[in-house]
Structure formats: C-alpha cells, structure tokens
Structure 1
Amino acid sequence: MRIERLVAEYDAPDLGLGVAAPRLSWSRSGGAQEQSAYELRLRDADGGVDVAAGTGHQQVLVAWPFRDLRSRERVEVEVRVQAGGEWSGWSAPLVVETGLLEAGDVRARMISPRDVGGLDDGAVVLARDLELAGTVAAARLYITAHGVYDAWIGGHRVGDHQLAPGWTSYDARLRYQTFDVTEHLREHAAAGGTEIAVGLGNGWYRGQLTWNLSRDTYGDRLGLLAQLEITYDDGRTQTVVTDESWRAGPTGVLADDLYDGQATDLRVPLAPEAPADGPVDVVDTDLGRLVAPMGPPVREVGTVPAVEVLAAPSGAQLVDFGQNLVGWVRLRVTGEPGQEVTVRHAEVLEHGELGVRPLRDAKATDTYVLAGGEQVLEPRYTFHGFRYAEVTGAQVTAADAEGVVVSSDLRRTGWFECSEPDVNRLHENVVWGMRGNFVDVPTDCPQRDERLGWTGDINVFAPTAGFLFDVGGFLGSWLQDLAADQHADGGVPMVVPDVVHENVGGPRPGDDGQTPGAGWADAAVHVPWTLYERYGDVGVLERQYDSMRAWVDKQRALAGESLLWDTGFQFGDWLDPDAPPHDAAAAKADPAVVATAYFARSARLLSRTAELLGRDADAAAYGRLSDDVAAAFREAYVDEGGIVRSDCQTVYALAIVWDLLATDAQRHGAGQRLAALVREADFHVSTGFLGTPLILDALCDAGYPELAHAMLLTRTNPSWLYPVSMGATTVWERWDSMLPDGSINPGEMTSFNHYAYGAVADWLHRRVAGLAPAAPGYREISVRPLVTGQLQHATAGYDSPYGRIDVSWRLDGERFELDLRVPPGVVAHLDLPLDEPARTVGAGEHHVSGDWVPVGRPLPVG
C-alpha cells in the first residue's frame, strides 16, 4: 500500500499558492480495504515538525489541519494512511509555498513606458540592471502585467508560460505569477550583476476584442508590476521592484494582436536584447486586485509536424498540418536581409484555397522581415486556430514547419474508446476542441474575431470537460470572474470576462435593458454544481453561493408572477440545424419553454446546494420555487398525454431529463413522442446548443437506448459523425459548417473548432462505456453500460480524485464480458445487461461475464 499522489488545492500553481490553509487530497494504490485513519506531517523551513491525525475515509480536499501559512512560507507535507489495520509508508513530500497573501506584501508599483508602446506601437521591453550583493541562496520573482509578458534574467527566459498573466476580469482580478529564479541569478553572481528585462505585448488587456474589434477595453497603456525578492547565503535580503528606475524601449515586434497576428522585424532586437533607455511612468493601480493562480498556466503543450505542402489553384503555397490546432507556426527559413515572409492561417480549404471567410475580420496573419541567413520564425504575443498556413516570401517543405500547440496545461484525466472508429475520431475531435478553446478562459472558438468566454458553451460542456481534464482550478477561477462581472441585480453576462456590455433587448417595462439568456446565464449555477459532482468540492459551492442565488432570484424577477420566463431576448436552442444561416436563434424549440425549464432546473440545483451548505431555509424555499416553476411549466406547456409545446426534440429532452413531468402518462407520452420524432428524422439530430447535451440521455431515460445509439451512429447531416465523414479533426459550431460539396456554410456563425456539440462525449463516458459518478468526486460510481448490440465494445478510463478507474466491456456473440478496476476508497454499483441483480463491489480488479440480455431494440443505421 502506497500513496500515489498528494496535492494541495487544485495542484496549481507550482509556486505561489494563494491560500493560507490549502486543502489536501491524496490517492493510494494497493489493498482493497477502505482508509480508516490518516496522519499528515508538516516540516517548516526551520526544521520544525507538526503532525495532525484524522479518522475516517476522507482523502479528497481535506481541511488543512495546521496553523495558517504566512506569505512566502515554504513547507513540506507528507501523508500516510491506515487501511485494514495496516499503515502505509509516508508519501513523497509535497512542497507547498504560498505567494503574496496580503496587499501589503507588494512593494512594487505598476509602471508603463512613457514615450514608446503607444496604442498604435508594437511590443516594448522594460528593463533594469541588477547589482547582486553576494551568493544567492533563493530568489522569487512575483510578476504581472497589463498586457502579456515574457520575462528574462541574464538573457535566460523565466518560466515556460505563454500569454501570461492570462485573462481575468482585470478590473476586479489581476492574476500574478511566482517564479523561482534562484539559478538565473546564481549564474551571474560571480560577475556581480545582470539585467532583468520584460517584453510586453497587448494581449487581452489592450488588443482587439469582440466582433466590434474594440481596443483598449481595459486601458490604453501597457503596464508591468514586478517584485524580485533575493535571499543571500548570509541571510541578507534584497528586494527589487518596478519603479521609476526602470527603462523602456521598442522592440522588433512592430505590431501584435490576438486576432490579427504579429509583425516582427528580425533586424531589430527583441526582448531581452532590445535596448531600453527611455523613461517609464508609475501609474496608479489597485493592488487589492492581485490574485494567485488557481489553475495551470498556458504553455506549449505539444507540436504537430506538417504533413505536406500543397499548391493551391492560385499557386499559393499551403502547409497542411493534418490537424486543426491552436497555437502558431514554427517555421525554419533561409533568406536575405530585408526579405519578408508572411504566414496566413485558416482552419479549412475551400475549393483548394485558404478558407478565411469564417475568420470574419480577424487577419490571423504573422509577418517577418528577415535578418538574413537561416532563422526560425514564430510569434510571441498572439495565437491562431488553424490547420492550414499559407506561406509567402520563402519556399518551404513539410520538414521546415511544425504547429506549436498552446493551451492551458491541464492534466488529462479521461479517455474513451469503442468498436466504431468514427466515434473514436469524434471523441478525439472533442479532446482537440477542448484543448484549443481552454486557453486561460473557456472560449467559444479560437480563430475568428471573438474568442470569448461564452457562458452558454461552457454551461453545456462542463460535464465533458470535467471528465477529460482536471478543470477544478481552471473553471473555479473563471467562476470567480463570473461573480465579479455579475450585475447588481443578479444578471449574468453573456460572456465572462464581460467585454461585450451589449444591450440585447429588455424583458419588461422598467427592467434592466440587458436580458440574460437562459442556458447562458445559468452557467452561474450549473458549472459550480458540475465541479461539485466531479471533484466533491463543496468549497466551490460555498464561494459561488451568493452568485448562484442572485441569478435564480433574477430568474424569478424575469418570470414574474406566472413563473413562466416568456419575455425578453433569448438565444434559445442556438444553432438548431433548421435555423436559417443568418438567424442562429431561430430554433424549433419555443424559447419560453426552454427558459422556464432552465429556471426550474437552476432553482432545484440551488436548493440542493443550500442543503449541502446547511442553509436549510434557502433549501426549502428554492425547493418550493423549483416545484412551483415545474408545475407552471406543465400547466402552460404540457398536455395530459405528455405533448410539449413546440413539439421538437429539445423540449422533450429538457422535460424528460430534468424530471419536469408529473404523471406516468405524461412521462410515457413524452418518451413515445420523442422516439417518434427521432424516427421521423431518420435518426438525425434536430437540436441546437441547449438540446444536444440532453437528447441521448432523454432517449435512454425514456427506454429507447437503441434510438440513442442510432442517432450517434448516423453519418449524414445533421449528425455528430457527418463532420467526421468530411474530415473534421475538431468539433464544428454548426452541424454543417462545411457543406457536402466542400464549400463553407454561408452563415455568419461558422467555426470549425467549437466544442459545444462535443458535449455528447459525456454521454459516451457515462452511458456507452457505463462509467458515471454516483456520489460527488467519484467516491461511488455507477457502472451501467447500455449495451444494444450496435457497438461491440467500449472502454473508459478516468483518473478520479481517488485514483484510476477503468471500465471495459465487450460482446463476443451472445456473451457479455466486463473488466473493472476500482481504486481504494471507491465503491462501484454494477447494473449490467445480464440476468442477475445489481450488486456493489469495492476496490480491486473485477471480471464479470455471462449471457447478454439486450437492452432496447437494435436498429439499422445509415
């Protein structure tokens, strides 16, 4: 028996934890007995040891049992556990180091270049000399910026972060990073001095944002805040801060923008070589905004080699990377001084040429003026969504180019595979789509003039995200931005961070002109609940509770006395496949039916949250509210036989999965009608963003899993496998973003990397493979694969908070076999397609086999 993994909070950041009492989690291997006790041991920097003990099975997000840590404090923590009367050995030590926990810890001031770095200028360098006073024992750099930065000490890059400090609701929360720069300084100690230099680009703070191409959304000046703290071997300390002593200068980055790309003159030095001899100004800033990271930074997480170089009908030179990815092109070229090389990006080809129309007004173009000789070209302060790159100004081969994949460096936790290769490709597309859109915030798309944190997209995708990657810290941080940007009346912006501030129509006379949309604003409730379900994190519910309650109260105000949310603007079942190209909100589902269903669901989740937090009065009140809204929903929109107003796949999915129907006759009738609609559609999907995550669950809940499988396996448009049949390597925004003839859909909303419809992967994990959480954090799991015979095998693996879970089933003729691995601390409830009762098993390896009892009625699919 051994401890496999011990982490504090969300296992990020590496340094500079932002809480004084971090929660601890661990997993173990070996032995099937449940943990009965644990001991935690802390060693501080002075050699002091403190031990704390606990009893019971708790091993996920365990409360910190020691004194609160101070700013900058570094300690080591170990754990050992008892199970079956035996103790494990002590774990490997976990280093926990806090950041700057109080605003008073920050002595640095925000500085901005005075004469360079204007709104129409390129990137700048800010620098100062460092005079070292001895042998360095330890050094930490605390740093953030208005814009995006890369830092250098003595000519060596600090860290491997990209686009730091990332994107938060800057007016309320400005993230800072902590770096160990001890070795950077030691290398130069003998010389007695070195230089710290920081390059600054526009990023989200001052670059173009939204389809209006708004610049300087947060401010019109770049800024740097840095504090370098040095401890010498003899105990002396030195602190270097940003102030008037720093200098500023231009660099060879002549222009940089997240949408348009970067223009670089390589004949002009870049940071850190660029000379800095101009003045800086100290600018006022609220240090109370500073927050430590909760999740991992954006990093280069991989590379994709070019597959081939194509010649377009126009003669253009097109590099194909074989995969739609997010990042940039790293290109090796040889040329003369002054020679210009241009790299344009796009996700698809149309009639053999670069398909740039879906980019709308984003130029997605990087240009370089060569210094001469062989050079490697890549930008620093931008990123693109692309599969293809058009290169002009230099002849290249596939060996000269690779795609640099950039994403928040989330730990992969979930996997899926089945007997149908196209479904496996679909699942891989979902993974690539998530990776490309989780670039510091969960964006809708990574390529056009948008790239915003749309609340509706993450609302439907969060369950899938929580299985595929560890997103506890990532989404926990985003939810704090949501709360920061939430309106005083409880309304939730369409995008977070909120840079739209757009009036989209008012609900009732006298009400706020900006109407939050159902399914979008409901992310305020649904996403925290998903994190609780997936990670057992009650803390996120506690942090977000006021935001959750404010939103449900806003829904109550919007619905009025009728409790029917039937006024105001709604996105509705966005991008329903029957919606015309230029009216994405024109869905079959009645928007009032959708909005009222969401109202009932959010009130129910809020009631459950209040109950967990011990807020009994709220739990009862919002429980009654949910019941009353559901009753109003039925009265207004459902007949006695279960027919729901607007009679389409989405409204039945909402009513069935969220249990909004009251009688057996309604439930049976709604299920029958949904099945009939699916058959009438020849198993094609007929749902938009809000119906799609629920439609297959609704069919299964209604007793028609064979129809759900048939819908999954349909290959013609609209379906999940149609894009796969068209060569897609990510999930599309529209079911038919590319038409069968190879032309791009004429609709304005046409992205080829948009994860919302990838929410189907959650159903693959839970229903097809049969691996679902039955208690928060996967403390209990449900193993219930719905085996219809349309697939011959499926597997899912998940690195849960308790350890690795694996489920694998297969059909061999009429024989069903299942292999299951359950980690210590978890129990599994098995309900298998066998002629045997359900049962529960504990930790260990389990094999079950027997004669298959079909579930549902298998159907042929096209």
Structure 2
Amino acid sequence: MTATTPVRFEHRDSPLGLGTATPRLSWQLRTDDPGWAQTACELDRDGTVVRVESAEQVLVPWPFEPLRSRERAAVRVRVASGDDWSEWSEPSTVEAGLLSARDWSARFVSPVTLGGIGAPAPILSRTVHLRAGITSARLYATAHGVYEAQLNGRRVGDEVLAPGWTSYRHRLRYQTHDVTALLHEGANELDVLLGNGWFRGRLAWAGRRAHYGDRLALLAQLEVTYADGSTEVIGTDEQWTARNSGVLADDLYDGQHTDLRPAESEVDRVEVVEASLGRLVAPEGPPVRATEVLPAIEVWRSPSGRTLVDFGQNVVGWVRLRLRNTRAGQEVVLRHAEVLEHDELGVRPLRSAAATDTYVLDDAQEVVLEPNLTFHGFRYAEVTGADVVAEDLAAVVVGTDLRRTGWFSCSDPDLEQFHHNVVWGMRGNFLDVPTDCPQRDERLGWTGDIQVFSPTAGFLFDTAGFLSTWLADLAADQQDDGSVPYVVPDVLYGKSPTAAAWGDAAAVVPWVQYRRYGDTGVLARQFDSMCAWVDRIASLTSDGVWAGGFQFGDWLDPTAPPDDPFAAQADPDVVATAHLVRSAEIVAETARVLGRDGSRYEKLAADSRDAFIRHYVTGAGRVLSDAPTTYALALEWDLLATGEQREHAAERLADLVRANGFRIGTGFVGTPLVTDALTSAGRPDLAYRLLLERGCPSWLYPVSMGATTVWERWDSMLPDGSVNPGEMTSFNHYALGAVADWMHRSIAGLAPAAPGYRRITVRPVPDAALTHASARHHTPYGEASVAWRREGGEFTLEVEVPPGSAARVHVPGQAAVEVGHGRHRWTVADPVTPRPAPATVRDLLDHAELWPKAVALLAEHGLGGDSARLAREAAPFLHRPATELATLLAMKDPAGGGTAAEAAWADLLG
C-alpha cells in the first residue's frame, strides 16, 4: 500500500497569508513496497489536474496559474511508480496574503499625544459595524513596535511579540489572521495594544533605545466577505482612536510594569504617519508562540529572606502567577535570573537588564498575572509582595514555534543531558532571530554563532523558513562593500569591521540550508550576498592571505582571561585565511548548483589555499600558533599540501588533546571542528575522550554543575558555584553546543550525503565508552533513523530510510552497502575490542579504561594530581615507555615517591 502525506507549501503546512504566488510543493511517501519508486505525479488544484513526469517530491515548482492576493486553493497529490498509482492525498489549503503594496488601503497610524517614550502602552481602537451574512474575515496587521489584537474582547490569534524582529528599514513582516469566528452582525470592537518591542525598546549593551523610530504605529486592515459575495474593508486611518492601557512600562530587557486597577484614560486622536508599504513581507516560517508551560518545582526562602522559585529548567519566556484575595494597590514584583549565586538570585550576568515584572493589583478573589510585551531568560525567579506556593507558579516557555525534527540518545546519561541542554539552548535563542543569549542587555542575532551552529540547528528543528527570513535580513543589512554586520538585524548600523567566521555566515548558512533541505531557492536568493562577502574579504588579502585588522578569532578560547575573550591560542590571521578558502569554495560550488560560472571563486579558493600553506604550514605539518583550532581548520578544510603534512598535523592535534588532559582547548571557531578532525584523522577514540571529559573546561563540566542549557563560557560558573568574574557571562548560549552535529553524524551515524537527505550516509563510530546510541531525523522525505547497540560481543545496527531516499551504510568491519527505503538490520562482531597494554606514555593516555587507575595510583604516591594536571605533566614524555612514567615524574618532582610506586605500577601495566 502506497500513500502520500498532505502537500506542504514552501516550508509550511496549509499556510494562511503566504507571501508568494507560486509556492513550491512537497510531500512524503508511505509504502510497504521496497521496490516502489516515484516516476511521476499528478497535482490537483480544485479540480485542475497537472501531470509531472518527475521523481522529485521536495520543493516541486508550482504547476498552476499563479495565485492572486487573497486567493485560496486546495491542492492534493498522487504519485506513480510506473503504472502503479497511489491514492490521492488529503487536500491541503493555501491562501495568499497581500502580495503587493497596492493591496493595502490602510495606512500606518500613531496616537497624536499618547504613547510617547516612557508613556503607558497605547491601545488603538475602532468600532466596526457589520451586516448580517458574514462568511469569512481576515485581519492583516503589523506594527512599528509589537502588537496584540482583540476583537470583541477575545484575543486574535496566538502569536506573541508580533510582528517579530526584522531589518525594519528594509523588511517588515505582517500577519494574516482568520477572524471569522470573532465577528458578528452589528457593532464590533477592535482593540490593538502596542508595545515597544525591538522597534523602540532598548537594544544592545549601550542602553540606546528607539533604534528604528520614536513613535509606535499600527497598520491593520480588516476585510470581511459576505454571503452575497461583497467585501467590506476597514483599515487604519484617522477614524481610529487611542487610549492608555494599564501597561505603564514595557521593555524586552527590563520587563513590564502593569497596573490592573480600573482607570479612566483620555481618548486621543490618531494620525497617519509616513511609512513605506513596499517593505511589507509575509512570514516565511512559524511565529513566536508560548510553546510549553513548566510548573515550579520548589519555593523557598533565601538567606536574606527573599522568596525564590526554581522551575528546574533554564527557559525563555515569563512567569505565570496565580494569586487569590488580592487587595487594591498591592504591588507584586518578579525578578528573573538564570542562576543562584551565594544562595541568592544571581543577577550580575544580566548587566543592565532589569528583567523585572511589576504588577499593581486590584481587589480580586483570584487573578492570573503574566506579561505580554516582554520576555526573560531564567530558571529562577524572586517574588516579593505576595506569599506564594509552587502550585501557583509556572514558567511559560516562549520562542519561535519550530517543528522538532531531530533526536539523539545514548547510554551515557550525562551526554544525553548535554544534548537536552543543546535543544533547550536553541529553543530559548531561536526567538524570531537566532540570538546569542536571551537574558542580558544584548539578545542580538550574532552571525558567528549561527554560522557554527546552523548544521546542528537544521537537524534538531525545521529551520528552513526561520533562517531563510534571517538571511534575507542579512542581505538587506549587508554593507555596500560586501561587509556583513556582526549582528543581524544590524543595530550597530554598519559600524562593524569585517570579521572572519562572523561575516562568513553570508556564505555558510545558505549552503547549510541547501544541504539540509535541498532548497536551491535560498541559494539563488542569497547568491549575490554570498559573492559580495567573498569579494570583500578577497580585497583585504595580501600575498593571498587575510592578515591584520580586527578579528574575533577563536572567540572564548578557554585559555583566554575572563576579561579578554579575544586572547585565543589560534592566530587570528590563520583563522581568517582559512575562512576565506572555505567561503570561496562554497560560492564556487553554489555557482555550479545554480548553473552559473564559478571559476573565479574556484581560482580564489585554490590560490588562498596555496597561500595558507605557504604562510602558515611548515613542511612537517606544523600550523602557525600550534593550537588545536588551527589544526582542526587545516585538517577539516583540506588546507595541507601533502599526505605527510596531514599525517603530522593529525598527530600533533592528537598530542595537544592528550597534553591538555582531554580538556577542551578551542573557542567558538574550533569547537565545531575538533571532534570531526580527530575522527577523520583516524582517532575517534580521542574525540570521544574529549567529548566525555567532565573536568573544566569541557562539554560535560556544565552538566556536572547542574546546567540545563549550554553556557557561553566553558566556565560560566566556577567549581565553587560562583559566577565567572568576566563582565560577559551567559548561561544560555548555543554556539558551543555545535558539537551535537558530530554526535548525530558520527556517534549515531546519521548524516546527509546529498541535498535534502535525498541520499544518506550511515557511518556510526562506536566506542567502548558507549553501549548504545541512536538518532532519528524527519528529513524532507520522511523519517530516517540509525540505532546501534553493543551487547554480548555483538554489534547490532538498525537503519530506517524513507521512501524517495537511499543510503550508503558502513557496517563496522564490512564493505559499505547501498540500501533503499525501508528498515534494515545487521549483526556483526563487536568492533570495539580491548586496547593492548600501553607501550608508551602516549598509549597510556589513550587508554580510556586504564588511565583513571593510573591517575589514582600516581596520586597515591604523591605524583601528578587530577587527570588533566597529570596529562600535562606526562606530555613531554609521550614517546617514552609507559613503564617509566612514575620514575620520569619523580624526576620532575623529587619530593614525590616515584620509586615506591614501581611494583604497583608494573602490575597495573600488566
């Protein structure tokens, strides 16, 4: 039996208010027939059937007449394998939005006197008198600021902080709401609350507000269709009025101050304000919503007598508080923070962000308090002004309502917790734009962070529409010379010097989106932006290398002092030139995909690679600055001239990892690459050791400290429970979680081999540290999964491939095999075998099972110390016999008892 899922339009299910007249169509197949392969399809639009001779089922071009503004269509599909046809899918509906500025009769309006900076949030209102016979109604709306609409006292839609944040000078999203059920014959009251949001609130650390303008404004157009076919349009104009709300103050950083007592407000006129309607765009991805509610797990008193609440998870959103028997004038204050410090609310990392919601209450038997014009990043809250219990408190989780598409599990609970932390870090920071952090006075769309994290993001959630709209903002904010801002949307206004790894998001993120979703459209739209970036950095080269000038480098290398995150081990010129090579290669490959001439960029990539080798690599494979990040770059991006150089570079990277006691030695740039570099160099065991280390700095150190999201710094919290003294410390930053992509591809073994997972590579890399691991992912073609288990001397591998896709499976110890869709299973001898007795100190360091015993034994005799310290002390002796290590360390530390350990040491080594 073969069936198809309902059609998707672009990257959305049954969208209302789509922004294109010719949406591409996608569907998935369900079949029990292993020989089924789509050869053709028929698409039916409201009775018009078009046959397409193609095996493609992802982003198929629209075969019908283009949609007109407001036009609605129902589309279904059936597919053929030769002469065998499936049943028709269930129909999916699509409705076009307002596709032209000419479709808007409404104009932006703003209160004449109310609603200024520092004034209460205004409500703009209009009474609408409607006839009988309403059959459908749409509200198209956007704002300068953020808005929340109500019709007849009922909320319109479930979106939060609409219209979201885009590059407002160039692009402003509007929303389409079906409000048919909210209207009735006669008088209807339409009220829209306006808040400061990103438009007029504080942005960035300098404290500046009103980046985009000092007046809030609303654009709204209500269109009502009657049974007789007539349509009535009511848009914002001078007939609307304004009044103050009970929201006395609102800011994304500082929180919301709300007075719930009834109060009379003067009615103000509104006036039309000039604003281009040509900026208006429809959403490409899902909106921001409240996606989950987490109950409080504990309420207690701090040493200072404060009431503290723990929600058990670092989240983004706000607190919902239920109170009973309140009195008029009672004030309740909620402060938010991610951590506790000295058993009190740890607010220092927030810098100037107040993150405080205040409520002035009225007499009420019961009231539920929550804000609607702000958000906070927090795990803990402090409540003053009311006695509360855990049952009356909950954390409302807010973020872009992305569809979950990827999962990972394994036998190590700490590693599973780390993956959980990566997921929650993404959930919190993917709030309309991919922000760096969601809690302090920043929350900006840093380009470097998403550049390194986009592969992980595309596995965990469907980011196709989310990142395509962000990339459109990147291109809009890109400077005339091709430079890319550090943050998008750009609130630094072109003051960002060009920086490698950050600006490279212009090339890397579109390419990742293409590889993960098979979307050539995003490449075509971003191609000029990609070229402009590479042309810009090529213009900065001297003798082929990009040297000098400002760079972030390997940002937040763990060796950097708390107050100097730039001070990385990796030379910034090496980092910059490596990124030039990579981005030039991406643009060249993009040109080939699009059928354009990319020869200039092929030559640039080749010349830049030669220059990198000439300037930064010795004949023996040493890379300038001798840091893990520079070796990872050189190995993963093929920046070495010979196999011998590669062999020596791989060996040196491995030795650096050993010498550091398997503690992490990379920052934002090197962290996504170092485990891949070790794996491709034939040392996945060292990659596992690096990943599974629990001492600081490491990926699992925050887990050992109770973290529920990924931290900005490897040591955002110090072992004694105090917060890192650096001025810039966040406990919810996703960048260092980019290693999860390696976990999906190498630990579990699930990776795309062709755009959109049309072909899949299954290549698990098992290790003695784990007994099982699995990953599954909702690809554009359907669910793919890989699961393996080591048990009883056997290794069992199970693979699922969706119809329309195929996989190349690398079963350990066997030749790779090609498989089609369906479920597949193999059982072979366990490829993980005990390591031989260590001959050298290097072998001993590599011996994951023996090393902890060696550490304990040496420490017992006064040598070494903790695992990392001992590894550093042993590093000069890597090539010496393991049997001599105790004596060698005793020579370094004569006060130690090396000779006393010889008998036990010999027994340990077998």
How would you bin the TM-score normalised by the shorter chain?
Answer: over 0.9
Q: What is the rounded CA distance, in whole Å, between the counterparts of 2:511 and 2:306 in structure 1?
A: 50
1:844 to 795, 798, 822: 822
Tell me, yes or no, if structure 1 residue 223 matches structure 2 residue 217.
yes
1:581 to 562, 583, 587: 562
Q: Contact 1:21 / 1:68 at 8 angstroms: preserved in 2?
A: yes
Tell me, yes or no, if structure 1 residue 706 matches structure 2 residue 685.
yes
Report how far residue 534 of structure 1 moved: 0.2
Structure 1 outlier segments of 4+, above 4 Å: 855-858
Q: Contact 1:73 / 1:98 at 8 angstroms: preserved in 2?
A: yes
Q: Contact 2:531 / 2:587 at 8 angstroms: preserved in 1?
A: yes
Decide which moves more: 80-89 or 714-723. 80-89
SS of aligned partner of 2:17: coil
Tell me, yes or no, if structure 1 residue 536 matches structure 2 residue 518.
yes
- Output aligned runs, 1:129-528, within 5 Å: 129-185=127-183, 188-189=184-185, 192-268=186-262, 277-334=267-324, 335-373=326-364, 374-501=366-493, 503=495, 514-528=496-510
Closer, same or farther: CA 675–277 of 1 in aligned 2, 3 Å:
same
Report how far residue 82 of structure 1 moved: 1.0
SS of aligned partner of 2:396: strand
Q: 1:255-307 CA distances to partner (integer Å, 9 max, x unpaired)?
A: 000000000000046xxxx8672100100010000000000000000011000
Closer, same or farther: CA 275–825 of 1 in aligned 2, 3 Å:
farther
Tell me, yes or no, if structure 1 residue 80 matches structure 2 residue 78.
yes
The one-letter amino acid of 2:792's match is: G
Closer, same or farther: CA 202–268 of 1 in aligned 2, 3 Å:
farther
Tell me, yes or no, if structure 1 residue 26 matches structure 2 residue 27.
yes
1:788 to 767, 776, 779: 767
Aligned length: 835
Q: What is the rounded CA distance, in whole Å, between the counterparts of 2:148 and 2:266 in structure 1?
A: 15
Report how far residue 207 of structure 1 moved: 0.2
Report how far residue 84 of structure 1 moved: 5.6
SS of aligned partner of 1:559: coil
TM-score (norm 1): 0.96
Closer, same or farther: CA 685–135 of 1 in aligned 2, 3 Å:
same
Report how far residue 748 of structure 1 moved: 1.5
The one-letter amino acid of 2:15's match is: D
SS of aligned partner of 1:381: coil
Q: What is the rounded CA distance, in whole Å, between the counterparts of 1:5 and 1:467 in structure 2?
A: 22
RMSD of the alignment, in Å? Answer: 1.2
Q: 1:153-172 CA distances to partner (integer Å, 9 max, x unpaired)?
A: 11111000000000000000
Report how far residue 858 of structure 1 moved: 6.0
Report how far residue 5 of structure 1 moved: 4.0
The percent of aligned pairs where both chains have the same amino acid is 59
Tell me, yes or no, if structure 1 residue 772 matches structure 2 residue 751.
yes
- Output aligned runs, 1:87-102, within 5 Å: 87-102=85-100
Partner of 1:38: 41
Q: What is the rounded CA distance, in whole Å, between the counterparts of 1:565 and 1:55 in structure 2?
A: 49
Partner of 2:533: 551
Q: What is the rounded CA distance, in whole Å, between the counterparts of 1:162 and 1:13 in structure 2?
A: 20
Q: What is the rounded CA distance, in whole Å, between the counterparts of 1:74 and 1:845 in structure 2?
A: 39
Q: What is the rounded CA distance, in whole Å, between the counterparts of 1:402 and 1:769 in structure 2?
A: 35
2:551 to 556, 559, 570: 570
Q: Contact 1:788 / 1:858 at 8 angstroms: preserved in 2?
A: no
Q: Contact 2:197 / 2:251 at 8 angstroms: preserved in 1?
A: yes
Report how far residue 746 of structure 1 moved: 0.5
Partner of 1:673: 652
Q: What is the rounded CA distance, in whole Å, between the counterparts of 1:178 and 1:603 in structure 2?
A: 40
Q: 1:711-752 CA distances to partner (integer Å, 9 max, x unpaired)?
A: 011000010000000000000000010000000001122100
Q: Contact 1:13 / 1:294 at 8 angstroms: preserved in 2?
A: no
Q: What is the rounded CA distance, in whole Å, between the counterparts of 2:562 and 2:77 in structure 1?
A: 58
Q: Contact 2:9 / 2:15 at 8 angstroms: preserved in 1?
A: no
Decide which moves more: 416-425 or 493-502. 493-502
TM-score (norm 2): 0.91
* Relative contact order, higher structure (CA 8 A, sep 6+): 1
The one-letter amino acid of 1:517's match is: A
Q: 1:64-93 CA distances to partner (integer Å, 9 max, x unpaired)?
A: 011111110001000001126421111111
Report how far residue 13 of structure 1 moved: 7.7
Q: Contact 1:777 / 1:801 at 8 angstroms: preserved in 2?
A: yes
The one-letter amino acid of 1:81's match is: V
SS of aligned partner of 2:541: helix
Partner of 2:3: 2
Q: What is the rounded CA distance, in whole Å, between the counterparts of 1:116 and 1:230 in structure 2?
A: 30
Q: What is the rounded CA distance, in whole Å, between the counterparts of 1:452 and 1:276 in structure 2?
A: 37
Q: What is the rounded CA distance, in whole Å, between the counterparts of 1:346 and 1:581 in structure 2?
A: 21
The one-letter amino acid of 1:599's match is: L
SS of aligned partner of 1:279: strand
SS of aligned partner of 1:304: strand
The one-letter amino acid of 1:412's match is: R
Q: What is the rounded CA distance, in whole Å, between the counterparts of 2:291 and 2:399 in structure 1?
A: 6
SS of aligned partner of 2:320: strand
Q: What is the rounded CA distance, in whole Å, between the counterparts of 1:72 and 1:55 in structure 2?
A: 30
Q: Contact 1:820 / 1:846 at 8 angstroms: preserved in 2?
A: yes
Q: Contact 1:12 / 1:473 at 8 angstroms: preserved in 2?
A: no
Q: Contact 1:418 / 1:794 at 8 angstroms: preserved in 2?
A: yes
Q: Contact 2:311 / 2:395 at 8 angstroms: preserved in 1?
A: yes
Q: Which has the larger radius of gyration?
A: 2
SS of aligned partner of 1:521: coil
Tell me, yes or no, if structure 1 residue 756 matches structure 2 residue 743.
no
Closer, same or farther: CA 771–627 of 1 in aligned 2, 3 Å:
same
Q: What is the rounded CA distance, in whole Å, between the counterparts of 2:7 and 2:370 in structure 1?
A: 37
Q: What is the rounded CA distance, in whole Å, between the counterparts of 2:765 and 2:620 in structure 1?
A: 27
Q: What is the rounded CA distance, in whole Å, between the counterparts of 1:34 and 1:447 in structure 2?
A: 49
Q: What is the rounded CA distance, in whole Å, between the counterparts of 1:563 and 1:237 in structure 2?
A: 64
Q: What is the rounded CA distance, in whole Å, between the counterparts of 1:691 and 1:702 in structure 2?
A: 16
Closer, same or farther: CA 313–502 of 1 in aligned 2, 3 Å:
farther
Report how far residue 814 of structure 1 moved: 2.1
SS of aligned partner of 2:311: strand
Q: 1:566-622 CA distances to partner (integer Å, 9 max, x unpaired)?
A: 111000000000100011111000000000000000000000000111112xx1110
Q: What is the rounded CA distance, in whole Å, between the counterparts of 1:811 and 1:734 in structure 2?
A: 35
SS of aligned partner of 1:59: coil
Q: What is the rounded CA distance, in whole Å, between the counterparts of 1:581 and 1:497 in structure 2?
A: 28
Q: Contact 1:331 / 1:378 at 8 angstroms: preserved in 2?
A: yes
